């Protein structure tokens, strides 16, 4: 096996460090304002859905397909819901956090039931029940206070972005001379 040294181009390292720094800065902003993070994501996804709706309508009119009016109808519905979410991002965030709260509630109840009725013993059974109780408590907090839910979701997203940004910077700083093993197929 022949090992060749391959240095990363300087511009790749700079790009990783720069984009990582930008990600860290944005994640710090997201940590400082986690509720706005959720609102920003909702608006961003709604704009994307707006384009999807436009594409569906154009596809329905100009491409031959049997469900032409169904495609156009769903495209119009996507446009309506995307427009509502863009116009009323707080209401959209309330709906999203309510669904998150309901999902956590069902998840918690399922874990408690599995912990009590399942084949688990000892610490595994107690851990499953404790996680279920924690999920139910968090879900009740989210359902009582959607602002808490928005802050929770925004904080989780911000922490994930912060970790990703730090990793990008670390990879950019570490890429000086990586070793890539290569086999010489002619010598075999």
Report which of 186, 178, 137, 176 is spatially closest to residue 1, judged by C-alpha positions. Answer: 186
Residue showing tokens 């096996």: 1
Beta carbons within 10 angstroms of residue 174's beta carbon? 12
User: In whole numbers, what is the pLDDT of the chain averaged over residues?
Assistant: 87
Q: Are 174 and 17 in contact (CB under 8 A)?
A: no
Q: Pseudo-torsion of CA 71, 77, 80, 83, nearest 10°?
A: -70
Candidate from 2-11, 139-148, 160-169 with smallest mean pLDDT: 2-11
Asked whether residue 188 is assigned to any structural domain, the reply reads no
Q: At 2, which helix (H) or strand (E)?
A: strand 2-6
Residue-range definition of the domain harbouring residue 79: 2-183
What's the total number of domains in the chain?
A: 1
Specify the pTM: 0.69
Q: What is the pLDDT of residues 90-147, one digit of tens each?
A: 999 999 999 999 999 999 999 999 999 988 788 989 999 999 999 999 999 999 999 9
User: Can you tell me the mean pLDDT for 36-55?
Assistant: 92
Asked whether residue 162 is assigned to any structural domain, the reply reads yes
């Amino acid at each position: 096996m022949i090992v060749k040294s391959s240095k990363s181009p300087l511009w790749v390292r700079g790009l990783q460090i720069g984009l990582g720094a930008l990600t860290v800065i944005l994640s710090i902003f997201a940590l400082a304002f986690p509720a706005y993070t959720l609102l920003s994501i909702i608006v961003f996804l709604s704009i994307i859905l707006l384009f999807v709706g436009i594409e569906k309508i154009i596809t329905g009119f100009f491409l031959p397909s049997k469900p032409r009016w169904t495609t156009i109808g769903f495209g119009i519905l996507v446009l309506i819901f995307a427009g509502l979410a863009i116009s009323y991002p707080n209401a959209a965030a309330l709906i999203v956090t309510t669904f998150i709260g309901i999902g956590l509630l069902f998840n918690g109840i399922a874990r408690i039931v599995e912990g009590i009725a399942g084949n688990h013993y000892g610490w595994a059974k107690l851990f499953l029940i404790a996680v279920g109780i924690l999920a139910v408590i968090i879900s009740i907090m989210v359902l009582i206070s959607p602002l808490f839910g928005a802050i929770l979701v925004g904080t989780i997203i911000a922490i994930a972005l912060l970790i990703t940004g730090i990793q990008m910077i670390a990879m950019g700083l570490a890429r000086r001379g990586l070793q890539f093993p290569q086999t010489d197929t002619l010598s075999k």
